[in-house]
């Protein structure tokens, strides 16, 4: 690939007032050449579409006929739409339960693997396996595991005298069933990040703590957690973003049901835009979701200032 | 118990716990493979069985007769590899400019890149679809690949790595007469290979898994990917679990193999980027 940078002069010329601006503008030109491929794609496929979503949200448009301008009416439709609120509630439910659960499982397993055992790489690889599977494929496996009455999950519960619900068609248990599957699918990523974080904590800190008579819980609370906070923060932020986008497993396992009990926002936007061909309304929904994400991310970063410890 | 035996017992307990947790975690994957080899009757019986009472390896060929699974796999490789290569190359170039070159508006533009990380993909979904439709690129490879090959996260990750590479290495090359492009290709890229590999593996797995975008853009077997194809398979066969899970097994294995081959880079990349600590 020929990027048209002029060959550099063999020895760097000392910066004198006369040559400095010329060198600087040549460097700027080089920079723009390096940036160009990414920038074009970025403008056409990210920035442009966001602006377009703003325009489409003001239209009544089914993709095929010509659009009509409806102003803010699509946003006004959100208020009295029970499915939208239920989708928002379901997404919040999913996020509030699955993110802490994923973090706890990831943290617990990372701590377990970090106990100085041999063959840690074997266990780490095997525990990462769910993360490396295709969501759609394993969603089918989980439907099979969740089969009412004699599915594996209910059989195991039966050993303990519990008669399990008809998971995926139960009003109360469909969402928890989706959450369990999602935690299983994604904890491996958090585990690897946290494990990497654990391995960067200097052992002297623990030895110093032991000399001072710190209990294991004390050193966990006052050494491990603060030192791990950047890794935990990264896992929280990526998990929250991921949980807002949950779609594949919900589509395959419950298709949003029973009723709208597991209809998430992404799924509702997809149904509105590509099943009902109501693009304007779908765009309005996506922009409201965007506003929520901005608020939550801002909240997380405010929180980070208090809780995440970086060196210096 | 004496203080000498205690660590041994503790270590045994830890290893036992590791075995237990791993075994429980792998149950769904093991079940997928076991059911895939069951007979039709057994897999669809009211009371599902765990161990196949008879093995049916011919399920494998039956799946390929029912759906063009090989074609779907090939399509998924095109889609995932296409987006991965395009993203990694363009992100590396942009990240180099942000990390090493001075130009007016640099921090402002980088701020815009970062801000877009917050945009949920649902916002761009509809306009991207409209754009692809207007360009008559529905059900074509460029229509599938190009819109999904530019994300700020790649630029952000690679910039972090490039900032960590000592400037001296590059200055030495520049003193030897290399221009910026040569310094980038001969110095930065080789040093950043683990980072580039990490980004590529992340992107490849993400796109191999991608259901929503291919579902919207692809509408024939010519471009249909595995996640979409498995869904079609469900429609044809209802709950013929053995064949469905055989298809799931076949399509999951390549990703798992790729993941195991590349996970050393992937783990090293996470450590190097400082995501896991400092």
Of A53, A137, A144, the CB nearest to B48: A144
Mean pLDDT of chain A: 86
Distance CA A14, CA A91 (A): 59
pLDDT at residue A1, as a whole number: 40
Distance CA B255, CA B77 (A): 10
What distance, in Å, lies between the first and last C-alpha atoms of chain B?
Answer: 40
Q: pLDDT by residue (tens digit) across B264-278?
A: 777 777 666 655 443
Which residues of chain A have a CB within 8 Å of the CB of B251? Answer: 134, 137
What distance, in Å, lies between the first and last C-alpha atoms of chain A?
Answer: 42
For residue A68, the surrounding DSSP H or E stretch is strand A68-69
Q: pLDDT by residue (tens digit) across A15-57?
A: 555 566 777 788 899 999 999 999 999 999 999 999 999 999 9
> Could you tell me the pLDDT band of residue A134, with boundaries at 50, 70 and 90?
confident
B121 lies within 8 A of chain A by CB:
yes
Which B residues 61-120 touch A at CB under 8 Å?
89-91, 93-94, 96-98, 101-104, 106, 109, 112-113, 116, 118-120
* A60 bridge partner residues: A68
Say if the Cβ atoms of A130 and B274 lie within 8 Å: no
B18 lies within 8 A of chain A by CB:
yes
Residue identified by tokens 């400037």 is B167
Q: pLDDT by residue (tens digit) across B118-136?
A: 788 888 988 999 999 999 9
Give the residue with greater pLDDT, A72 vs B201: A72
Say if the Cβ atoms of B212 and A247 lie within 8 Å: yes
The pair of three-digit structure tokens given for residue B163, joined into one six-digit string:
């900032």
Which residues of chain A have a CB within 8 Å of the CB of B247? Answer: 137
Q: pLDDT by residue (tens digit) across A101-121?
A: 999 999 999 999 988 777 888
Which B residues 145-164 touch A at CB under 8 Å?
146-152, 155
Distance CA A285, CA B28 (A): 35
Q: Is the dihedral of CA B21, B22, B25, B28 positive or negative?
A: negative
* A68 bridge partner residues: A60
Residue of chain B nearest A280, judged by CA positions: B126
Residues 6+ apart with CB under 8 A from A16: none
Average pLDDT over residues B13-22: 92
In chain B, what percentage of residues exceed pLDDT 70?
93
Distance CA A14, CA A7 (A): 17
B172 lies within 8 A of chain A by CB:
no
pLDDT at residue B178, as a whole number: 86
pLDDT of B30 above 50: yes
Please give the model's pTM, rounded to 2 decimal places.
Answer: 0.85
Which residues of chain A have a CB within 8 Å of the CB of B15? Answer: 117
Residue of chain A nearest B271, judged by CA positions: A196
pLDDT at residue A164, as a whole number: 87
CA A281 to chain CA centroid, nearest Å: 24
Residue of chain B nearest A232, judged by CA positions: B276
The pair of three-digit structure tokens given for residue A107, joined into one six-digit string:
């943290």
pLDDT of B83 above 60: yes
Residue B213 · residue B141 · CB < 8 Å? no
DSSP-derived secondary structure for B222-239: TT--HHHHHHHHHHHHTT
Which residues of chain A have a CB within 8 Å of the CB of B263? Answer: 125, 128
Distance CA A126, CA B73 (A): 24
Residue identified by tokens 């403008």 is A43
3-state DSSP assignment of residue A162: coil
Q: For the stretch B147-173, what's the b/e string if a residue is b when 16 or more beta carbons lie within 10 angstroms of its beta carbon?
A: bbbbbbbbbbbbbbbbeebeeeebeeb
The pair of three-digit structure tokens given for residue A174, joined into one six-digit string:
């469909």
Which residues of chain B have a CB within 8 Å of the CB of A308? Answer: none
Residues 6+ apart with CB under 8 A from A76: none
Q: Is the dihedral of CA B103, B108, B112, B113 positive or negative?
A: positive
> Could you tell me the pLDDT band of residue B4, with boundaries at 50, 70 and 90?
low
Q: Please give the angle made by the CA atoms of B260, B264 and B266, to the nearest 5 degrees.
A: 95
Distance CA B213, CA A170 (A): 30
Residue identified by tokens 């840690």 is A120
Residue identified by tokens 């853009």 is B217
DSSP-derived secondary structure for B148-193: GS--HHHHHHHHHHHHHS-HHHHHHHHHTT--HHHHIIIIIHHHTH
Q: pLDDT by residue (tens digit) across A152-203?
A: 899 889 899 888 899 999 999 999 999 999 999 999 989 988 988 888 888 8
Residue identified by tokens 């109360």 is A172
Nearest to B60 by CA among B44, B29, B37: B37
B6 lies within 8 A of chain A by CB:
no
3-state DSSP assignment of residue A148: coil
Q: What is the ipTM of this complex?
A: 0.83
Give the residue with greater pLDDT, A303 vs A309: A303
Distance CA B70, CA B64 (A): 7
């Amino acid at each position: 690939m020929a990027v048209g940078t002029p060959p550099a002069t063999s020895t760097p010329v000392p910066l004198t007032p006369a040559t400095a601006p010329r060198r600087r503008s040549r460097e700027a030109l080089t920079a723009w050449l390096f940036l160009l491929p990414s920038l074009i794609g970025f403008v056409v496929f990210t920035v442009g579409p966001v602006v377009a979503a703003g325009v489409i949200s003001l239209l009544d448009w089914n993709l095929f006929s010509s659009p009509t301008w409806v102003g803010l009416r699509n946003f006004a439709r959100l208020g009295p739409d029970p499915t939208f609120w239920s989708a928002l509630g379901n997404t919040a439910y999913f996020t509030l339960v699955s993110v802490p659960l994923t973090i706890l499982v990831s943290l617990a397993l990372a701590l377990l693997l970090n106990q100085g055992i041999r063959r840690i790489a074997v266990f780490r690889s095997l525990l990462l396996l769910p993360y490396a599977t295709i969501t759609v494929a394993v969603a089918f496996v989980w439907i099979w595991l969740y089969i009412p009455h004699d599915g594996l999950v209910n059989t195991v519960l039966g050993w303990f005298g519990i008669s399990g619900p008809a998971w995926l068609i139960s009003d109360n248990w469909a969402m928890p069933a989706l959450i369990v599957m999602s935690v299983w699918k994604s904890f491996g990523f958090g585990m690897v990040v946290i494990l990497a974080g654990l391995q960067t904590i200097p052992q002297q800190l623990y030895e110093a703590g032991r000399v001072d008579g710190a209990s294991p819980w004390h050193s966990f609370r006052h050494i491990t957690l603060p030192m791990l906070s950047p890794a935990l923060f990264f896992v929280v932020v990526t998990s929250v973003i991921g949980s807002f986008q949950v779609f594949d497993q919900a589509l395959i396992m419950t298709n949003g049901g029973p009723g709208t009990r597991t209809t998430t926002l992404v799924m509702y936007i997809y149904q509105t835009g590509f099943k009902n061909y109501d693009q304007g309304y779908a765009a309005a929904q996506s922009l409201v979701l965007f506003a929520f994400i901005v608020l939550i991310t801002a909240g997380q970063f405010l929180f980070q200032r208090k809780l995440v410890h970086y060196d210096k | 118990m004496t203080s000498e035996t205690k660590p041994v017992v503790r270590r045994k307990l830890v290893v036992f716990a590791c075995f237990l947790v791993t075994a429980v975690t792998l149950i769904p994957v093991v079940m997928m493979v076991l059911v895939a080899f069951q007979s039709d009757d057994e897999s669809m019986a009211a009371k599902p069985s765990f161990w196949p009472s008879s093995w049916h390896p011919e399920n494998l060929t039956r799946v390929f007769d029912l759906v063009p699974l090989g074609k779907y796999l090939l399509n998924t490789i095109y889609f995932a590899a296409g987006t991965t290569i395009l993203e990694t190359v363009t992100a590396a170039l942009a990240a180099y400019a942000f990390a090493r070159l001075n130009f007016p508006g640099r921090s402002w533009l980088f701020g815009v890149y970062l801000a877009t990380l917050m945009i949920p993909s649902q916002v761009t979904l509809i306009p991207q679809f409209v754009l692809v439709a207007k360009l008559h690129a529905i059900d074509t490879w460029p229509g599938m690949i190009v819109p999904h090959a530019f994300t700020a996260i790649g630029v952000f990750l690679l910039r972090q790595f490039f900032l960590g590479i000592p400037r001296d290495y590059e200055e030495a090359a520049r003193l030897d007469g290399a221009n910026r492009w040569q310094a980038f290709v001969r110095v930065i890229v080789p040093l950043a290979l683990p980072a580039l590999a990490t980004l590529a593996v992340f992107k490849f797995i993400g796109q191999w898994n991608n259901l929503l975008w291919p579902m919207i853009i692809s509408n024939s077997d010519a471009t249909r990917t595995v996640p979409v194809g498995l869904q079609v398979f469900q429609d044809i066969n209802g709950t013929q679990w053995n064949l469905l899970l055989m298809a799931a097994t076949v399509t999951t294995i390549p990703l798992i193999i790729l993941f195991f081959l590349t996970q050393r880079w992937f783990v090293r990349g996470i450590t190097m980027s400082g995501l896991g600590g400092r």
